[in-house]
Chains A and B, each alone.
Chain A
Amino acid sequence: MPLELRRALVAVTLVIVVVAVLWASRFDAMPPADFSFQNGTDPKTLDPHRATGQPEGHILFNIFSGLLEALPEGPPDPETGVQALTPQPSVAAGYEVSPDNMTYTFTLRRDATWSDGVPITSDDFVWSWTRMLHPETACEYNFQLFSLPYAEAYATGVVDVGDRVEVELWDRPGETTTSEANPQNFPRGTIVYGILKEIAKPPEPSLPENASKELISSTTAKWQSSWVYTIDVAKRDADDILWDDVESVETFASDLDSTLVQPDTRRAHGVLVAFDQLGAMETPDPYTFIVHLKDPLPYFPFLATYYPLFPVPRHCIELHGKPMWTRPENIVTNGPYRVGLRMLRDRVRLVKDPNWFNADSVEVETIDAMSIESANTALNMYTTGELDWVYDQPITLIEELKGRDDFHVAPQLAAYYYELNTLRPPLDDVRVRRALALAINREQIVQEVTKAGQAPAYFLVPPGIAGYQSPPGIDGTLDEAKALLAEAGYPGGRGIPKFTILYNTNEAHRAVAEVIQQQWQNNLNIQVGLQNMEWGSFLDKRQQKRFDISRAAWIGDYPDPNTFLDLWLSESIQNNGSWVNEDYDRLLAEAASESDTTKRMSLLSQAEAIWVDEVPAIPIYHYVSKHLVKPYVNGFFLSPQDQHPLRLLRLENSR
């Protein structure tokens, strides 16, 4: 290399270094927020129909408002400081329930608007709930609306001959009959209504027996796309569909290469039950929204306080599409706060929306939801005053924190349990399951392992649900456990097939598993293996039912025993242990159609008694929520649902 070039390159390097340092030291100073809290991992999405977790909830509950809002009511429990949350008016100024608990009439506020000033009307709810249920939205919480007639069939895409159906033609924006599908399911293509006369299906492709889940579902989907639907297309007048007046008979298919396609078959995205035209929801005027249920769910108002049922802005979603509508520069919200800023792995900044209908009641102007995963880091930042609220503290420090005035613990609607695979010996024997459940010393676990004041669990449903009487829990002595084991053919634990506890890699889960392993060894002379797996593989193994005993936990979706009990319905996809009990299924079904609250709760309690008796899972403890909140923060309420409306916060000036 010639000398001049070498000199030049040295000079260039020096310049680059200087520029790099200058670039790296440039920071846009951002004023700190009035209130900052630890929000765990990054929120997955700000779309209420796609979100599922706690970090998403902390933001969505404050940037969107639903028909109702869960707010603390009544005095706090003198012992625990917990206040029950009840459904209170929000976008709906009030609601009426019919005597049979099947019809809810919500009266909407006239001053409720989207953050861009567009008024919110009852049609927004019809549209939002239809979007929430639409199969292509893939909302994981869509079951929360399954109590509306036809909702489940709509969401799962099940149609039968004779159904009143909607057909979405292949003409979404940008689509031609030969093009690929536009993945934006809203705005929709042209909708044709009619009655399904016939489905012509080519022979079902056969699959090898050991085909993977992916292969099965993609083959089935491909097969279904080749179905040809014959429909009596209904006439329409100005605002009604005249279902019984046949305009024409037409055929539709989503794959026009199907062998059964006729020359005039039209291409369509699919045929679904015409959910939004079948009377589940009514909008007599822009400010009245009527919902008809097929079951008298007493907890329906609670469902209306959860974000999957919140309205979403049609004009914004149809303009930007998903997921672009959730970008901070695009998103339109309707809650007390707007999204001011969103930085990955850093924060979501919430800014008070002065146009929110109840803006006067909101005191804190800016709030930072900080994406901080490490409990130690969060505690450091809390100690140095950079955070005002931390809800995940290092387990090793819990005992030290417990003595502090700014540390609050409240029972939570959540259970920690061991799921048993009831198809695998020896766990297929109920006596073995009972013996194992009896031989666990839960007091030792909550006192020496979890330490924060968790309650030992002898039944499934966490205490504290209004009107629910828990059945007697798992109860018995060690001798009884040994006798049960002997009865099952394993006296003194001899000859019992080996089985393993599966858990996802985590210090806390390992500690619990080790204690239980020790207790079973000491009490029953049973040796169990421990197996830990990282999260993805763990879930895979569980959902494929390839485990003996698996760690599991469930946080209630709404304050009702049903949210826990329906996990063990024979048909439930959460029932990884394959436990089947007809009486249990029947009791839950009866409870669902029972409009008398007391009777309903008693049916649920009977079902839980069967659960306790049959031990499809071993309950271990009920969770507590743990909060470190600065003493100058008022209006931070403790509740079993562990929701904390940020608009109620009040900051004392003395901070």
Chain B
Amino acid sequence: MKRLVGFLMRRFGWMVLTVWAVYTVSFILIKLAPGSPFSAERAVTPAIEQQLRARYNLDASPLRQYWDYLFGIVTRGDLGWSLKLEDYSVNQVIAEGFPVSASLAVFALVFAIVLGVTAGVISAVYRGTVADVSMMATAVLGIAVPNFVLASLAILLFVFLIPIFPAAGWGTLRQVILPALCLGAPVAAYVARLTRAGMLESLMREHVRTAFAKGLSKRTVILRHVLPGAMLPVVSYLGPATAGVLTGSLVLEKIFALPGMGSHFIYAATQRDTFLATGMVLVYTVLLFTMNTLVDIAYAVIDPRVRLE
């Protein structure tokens, strides 16, 4: 327990340092980007632009802006105002978008793990059979096909040919299923391949042979002695996969008109929405760091030999 707490404390320290470094780098990059957040096809008069810059403290010296903004984040958790969604603060934008992205990610991951692990186990146990070959072929396809192609196919199939799901939008369970499946499919494919590889390796192990020799049933051996070991690569993949599902939903958010966070991430950058872009980068940094920490803990849970350092 002590070790776990110490580990978490150390990780937290590193996270603070990383977030600070990320903040600094993104601040510099945004300052270097050409174009102003206030430009539009209709040019803004210099007087108006100066007023706007003053309103958002963009007229201070860069160093002053750097510290003021950092101070606001650290003391008040205030990420500033969005420049392009003027009625919203960055905190509000994230508060509205994150639950949508998170709930989509939950469905996508649960689907991916259940399907991926099941397929992987079956493939490994019945290695070389038709089931194995066809499942692994599907998995390769699943990894290779980008999710917007998958989404288009899914819409064609389940919206127009067999009309069981709505075309797009957010607000009901039926509207989540299609995007969650498309988002989870590549992850499921990857998980299936990792599970299969892990299982095959575990099946060769001596403790497994011993377990069989003791006369345990095949099911017991696989569930209790093979599967936990085979899960290690899957778990280590789940950290980045979660982050990927949360950030990578941009295309699907667009196709299915979902009000998640992914689209803000891109628009903030292309439209020079300084504060929103920085806020998004920081949120994703924290998410990624948290996920990796959870993965490391999960490692120690699954494999008694792993020590938290």
Contacts and interface: CB of A to CB of B under 8 A. Distances in A.
A27 B33 CA distance: 40
Given A17-B110, A140-B48, A326 B41 contact: no
B170 A346 contact: yes
Contacts of A466: none
5 contacts: A24-B176, A221-B59, A386-B167, A539-B41, A540-B39
A213 B257 CA distance: 38
B271 A29 contact: no
- The residue among A3, A370, A386 with the most chain B CB atoms within 10 A of its own CB is A386
Range of interface residues on chain A?
35 or more
Interface of A: 1-3, 5-6, 9-10, 13, 17, 20-21, 23-25, 27-30, 42, 44-47, 50, 52, 135-136, 138-140, 142, 155-157, 183, 213-214, 217-218, 220-221, 323, 326-327, 343-346, 370-374, 376-377, 380-381, 383-384, 386, 534-541, 543, 552-554, 573-574, 576
Given A138-B52, A214-B59, A344-B97, 12 more contacts: A3-B304, A5-B4, A9-B297, A17-B110, A24-B176, A46-B87, A142-B48, A345-B260, A384-B163, A536-B270, A573-B43, A576-B43
4 tightest CB-CB pairs across the interface, nearest first?
A536-B35, A24-B103, A345-B259, A380-B167
Contacts, number: 191
Contacts of A157: 47
A140 B110 contact: no
Contacts of B253: 345
Contacts of B88: 323, 344
B254 A45 contact: no
Contacts of A376: 255
Interface in B137-154: none
- The residue among A326, A380, A535, A554 with the most chain B CB atoms within 10 A of its own CB is A380
A440 B102 CA distance: 52
Contacts of B248: none
B87 A323 contact: yes
Given A218-B50, A323-B86, A372 B270 contact: no
Interface of B: 1, 3-4, 33-36, 39-55, 58-59, 81, 84-88, 93, 96-97, 102-104, 106-107, 110, 155, 159-160, 163, 166-173, 176, 253-260, 263-264, 270-272, 297-298, 300-301, 304, 307-308
A493 B181 CA distance: 57
B36 A540 contact: yes
Given A10-B301, A346-B170, A374-B255, A135 B42 contact: no
Contacts of B263: 345, 373
A24 B102 contact: yes
B167 A381 contact: yes
A380 B46 CA distance: 43
Contacts of A9: 297-298, 301
B259 A346 contact: yes
A380 B159 contact: yes
B55 to A, nearest CB: 6
B106 A1 contact: no
B308 A1 contact: yes
A30 B259 CA distance: 15
Contact of B173 (A27, A183, A327): A27
B4 A1 contact: yes
A381 B86 contact: no
Nearest to B44: A140
B86 A6 contact: no
B87 A45 contact: yes
Contacts of B110: 17, 21
Contact of A381 (B55, B163, B169, B272): B169
Given A380-B155, A381-B168, A539 B39 contact: yes
Contact of A543 (B39, B155, B256, B304): B39
A533 to B, nearest CB: 9
B163 A537 contact: no
B168 A380 contact: yes
A221 B54 contact: yes
A383 B55 contact: no
Contacts of A543: 39, 43
Contacts of B34: 536-537, 540-541
Contacts of B264: 344-345
A7 B213 CA distance: 27
Contacts of A3: 304
Contact of B103 (A23, A371, A372, A384): A23
Contact of B257 (A183, A221, A374, A383): A374
- The residue among B50, B81, B159, B172 with the most chain A CB atoms within 10 A of its own CB is B50
Contact of B106 (A21, A46, A52, A536): A21
A245 B111 CA distance: 81
Contacts of A136: 51, 55
A372 B263 CA distance: 12
Contacts of B46: 213, 217, 573
A386 B171 CA distance: 13
B255 to A, nearest CB: 6
Contacts of B85: 42, 44-45, 344
B86 A574 contact: no
A4 to B, nearest CB: 10
Given A136-B51, A156-B47, A381-B167, A47 B86 contact: yes
A539 B40 contact: yes
Contact of A383 (B51, B167, B258): B167
Given A374-B254, A535-B271, A217 B53 contact: yes
A562 to B, nearest CB: 15
A78 B140 CA distance: 59
A539 to B, nearest CB: 4
Given A217-B50, A386-B169, A377 B255 contact: yes
Contacts of B260: 345
A274 B247 CA distance: 52
A217 to B, nearest CB: 5
